[in-house]
Amino acid sequence: MPWSLLVSFVGGIWVGSSLFPLSYESLKEFHSTTAMGRVLLHGWQGVPSGVVVLGVALFSIAALYGVTRIEAIVHRKLSEAS
């Protein structure tokens, strides 16, 4: 696993985990108010949970592919510039 990917992954977890508690006061009402009880994505969309899992997996693969392509383009341009 490339170090940049690992650092990005851990950094994203760290940033998200740090920002949520800092912004919780402004999000508290939204976070805790629901008359529907526990709401899951597949229940909210009305589709089987497997479809949501497949969609999330495909989205993740596409995002990683896109980031890899962007990284290659940037690396190539930086190599050409130097």
| pLDDT tens string 56-66 | 999 999 999 99
| Residue linked to tokens 């130097």 | 82
| Every domain of the chain and the residues it spans | 1-33, 41-82
DSSP state of 2: -
Alpha carbons 45 and 50: distance in angstroms, whole number: 12
Q: Does residue 42 contact residue 51 with C-beta atoms inside 8 Å?
A: yes
- Confidence class for position 2, pLDDT limits 50, 70, 90: confident
Q: Which of 70, 8, 47 is nearest to 56 (CA)?
A: 47
Q: What does pTM read for this prediction?
A: 0.52
